[in-house]
Structure 1
Amino acid sequence: MTENNFSLKKIEISVSEAEKRTGRNAVNMQETYTAYLIETRRFTELKHYSDELQSVISHLLRVRARVADRLYGVYKVHGNYGRVFRISMLCDPVKVALLMWCFLSRYASSIDDILEDEEHYADQLKEYLFYAEALRAVCRKHELMQYDLETAAQDLASKKQQCEELATGTVRTFSLKGMTTKLFGQEAPEQREARIKVLEEQISEGEQQLKSKNTEGREFVKNAWADIERFKEQKNRDLKEALISYAVMQISMCRKGIQVWTNAKECFSKM
């Protein structure tokens, strides 16, 4: 296949094979019709990818939320420590308690800014939850286009079969029309010719519709896959940047905590 239509499969389906799908009897073992079917493997993989992406990001957000809740509790405990030292200021002649109260209270109040920054990173991750849903929407549209193509191909094959039956006068499948013919005889030649002409026009229209749907499908696959490739590149950059920034924030937060308790240690040594 060339690069332009690598995403499509041109499948030659013999009537005998088509009948396995439609349940029709054989018409002509030499006759074949062509259906252009959009490749499904890559879109199936894309659907699995979107499911996994949503699952991983959802799990990551849940873990972040649990960690943030526990972190909030730790910081508020430091605020309680600060209030204890504030009360003890009344009996502390060297003002060590004042310093401890300042250190711990400032440290405890910083949790609000930290959680606000964390929400910013969480919002960046949540955007990809919406994109995972957009990927599934692309897959659903692909499935609908695939169904339309197969339906158009089967309808075209059915009309060709009807046209041949009228032309030969032989009905190879059970139908109400076939029973009527057996009971009341063949149609008048003029009626049969008129029906054949109508069917030939419908066959011509069906072939044009099939080609149009095939072209539409090819353009859809080409454009969709180009957008998906750009997304994957952008996703890698965005997630890498967000996770690195989150890690840097956590390191900075831990350093501040270490500094607070280093100052507290110095204060305790003066008591």
Structure 2
Amino acid sequence: MTSIRYNPHEEPDEDEEKTLDQYVHEHGAECVADVADIAIGTNEKRVTNTENFLVDRYVEYEVETTIRIGSSIDAKLPPTFTVFRRYSDFEALRTCLVVSHPSVIVPPLPEKVVNVVWKNGTPELDKFNDDLIGHRRCAFQTFLVRVSKHSVLSAHPKYHDFLTRDYDFKVLMSGVEMKSDSFFKQLSATIGLKKPDKRFLELKTYADALEESTKEVIDVRRKVGFKRLQIYKLFADLAKQFNDWSGIEPEMGDCLQSASHRLDGLAGLVQGFSEQDETQFGEPMKEYQLYADAMRSVAKKGEIVQYECEQTEQVLHSKVKAKADFEKDPNALSFSSLKAKLFGGGPSIEERRKEHEQIVKKAEESVERAQEELSSFVSQSERDMETFHRQKREDIKRVLIADAKLQLELNRKSLSAWRNLKETFHSC
């Protein structure tokens, strides 16, 4: 299979190479996932010196985007794009998607600090740790695949750049608006709303509940996993005791030695099981715990849009009132009339009436635009929430079924080990 890596110091000739966006549109695809597969391949550990003479240690992940349909060796766009991205590049991409599509629940990224159950609950791992790298590789692939299946997010030009252009992503992001709403603006919207939309309140409430529920499930499962690990490790201690005992029992020595080997095998079951359990259960649950922030972000932005709509409505109300007051008494003292009396001239009553009408019209147009923006935001967020719930139900169902199968497998192997031990003891 052919692949391409662009020269990071040389801009591509856009006239010669078909873009990923063109591929999507040529085949009438709704999203990138309809035409391409995305996978995280190998990783490269790098240590470089910065301009400030500091050492920058980071890991780059190989991102491969393979075109599935219509690809051939004669195609202008190669079947596979290969780029390398680091953690900060993924952060920049996600921030760009959040700012560009505030009504969409953007999938989360993995945490920078990872708890690893089978490593005795280590609170933090070095960025070059193989367990952390493996965890991030899986999480990064999940993130990119989820975005590729979203018709809105996967259409973003910077997402296409991220997948296909092997340049410094910070350079590719230059000039892109990356600022989110300030804390003061969010606080003003939360406090200043006269009639908070219950849909945004319900979304925040659900996000908090989902975060708490998944956190509790993860915490309990980690306790169970750690205790199980301790129990199975005790079987290894028991195996050692049987082995030592066999040395002083000539008649039962072979039997005790055999039991020692079987107990060692029983103790070894849990190591691979714990790692598989974390991959199949812990990581998916953690992803949905992190989804809570994404939902809260949508709710907060919705409140800001609603607050801005209310502000434009208040402005319109004040302008309509000013116009009504003028109609009641055109000769009433005002700033413009006082200025005319002091300096002479000034607009006539009819001109002032037209001015009031124009001001009210502009305010009405502003309200109409704000209401349309709010309506569009609510519609998009509701559609995205429905999609999220469908995805969540399918994922959680799959995770729970896989977990039940894994538990059954461990218990089957444990039961088989104990049956063999029983037969061993019968032969003594």
> What TM-score comes out, normalization by structure 2 length?
0.48
Partner Cα separation in structure 2 for residue 252 and residue 130 of structure 1? 29
User: How many pairs does the alignment contain?
Assistant: 228
Partner Cα separation in structure 2 for residue 215 and residue 252 of structure 1? 55
The corresponding residue for 2:301 is 141
The corresponding residue for 2:415 is 258
For the residue of structure 1 that corresponds to 2:247, the secondary structure is helix
CA deviation after TM superposition for structure 1 residue 209, in Å: 1.4
| Aligned equivalent of 1:107, options 245, 261, 266 | 266
Q: Assess, with a 3 A threshold, how the Cα gap between structure 1 residues 100 and 166 changes in structure 2: closer, same or farther.
A: same
AA partner of residue 116 (structure 1)? E
CA deviation after TM superposition for structure 1 residue 169, in Å: 2.8
1:200-236 CA deviation, whole Å, 9 max, x = no partner? 3332221111111111122212221111111111111
The corresponding residue for 2:292 is 132
1:154-181 CA deviation, whole Å, 9 max, x = no partner? 1111011122223333799xxx969x97
The residue correspondences of 1:196-207 to structure 2 (distance < 5 A) are 196-207=353-364
CA deviation after TM superposition for structure 1 residue 196, in Å: 4.7
> What TM-score comes out, normalization by structure 1 length?
0.74
CA deviation after TM superposition for structure 1 residue 198, in Å: 4.2
AA partner of residue 216 (structure 1)? E
The corresponding residue for 2:128 is none
Partner Cα separation in structure 2 for residue 193 and residue 109 of structure 1? 93
CA deviation after TM superposition for structure 1 residue 89, in Å: 3.4
Q: Which has the higher helix share?
A: 1
Partner Cα separation in structure 2 for residue 269 and residue 247 of structure 1? 33
8 Å CA contact 1:38–1:146 kept in 2: the answer is: no
Identity %: 28
Q: Assess, with a 3 A threshold, how the Cα gap between structure 1 residues 259 and 166 changes in structure 2: closer, same or farther.
A: same
AA partner of residue 129 (structure 1)? Q
In angstroms, what is the RMSD of aligned CA positions? 2.9
Mark the runs of 5 or more structure 1 residues left unpaired by the alignment. 1-36
Partner Cα separation in structure 2 for residue 38 and residue 224 of structure 1? 19
| Aligned equivalent of 1:218, options 344, 364, 375 | 375
8 Å CA contact 1:165–1:171 kept in 2: the answer is: no
Deviates more, 1:240-249 or 1:215-224: 215-224
8 Å CA contact 1:50–1:133 kept in 2: the answer is: yes
Q: Which has the higher contact order (CA 8 A, sep 6+)?
A: 1
AA partner of residue 235 (structure 1)? K
8 Å CA contact 1:38–1:218 kept in 2: the answer is: no
Q: Assess, with a 3 A threshold, how the Cα gap between structure 1 residues 134 and 189 changes in structure 2: closer, same or farther.
A: same
Mark the runs of 5 or more structure 2 residues left unpaired by the alignment. 1-193
The corresponding residue for 2:396 is 239
Larger radius of gyration: 1
8 Å CA contact 2:266–2:417 kept in 1: the answer is: yes
The residue correspondences of 1:150-229 to structure 2 (distance < 5 A) are 150-169=310-329, 190=347, 196-229=353-386
| Aligned equivalent of 1:90, options 228, 247, 257 | 247
Partner Cα separation in structure 2 for residue 80 and residue 232 of structure 1? 47
Deviates more, 1:251-260 or 1:116-125: 251-260
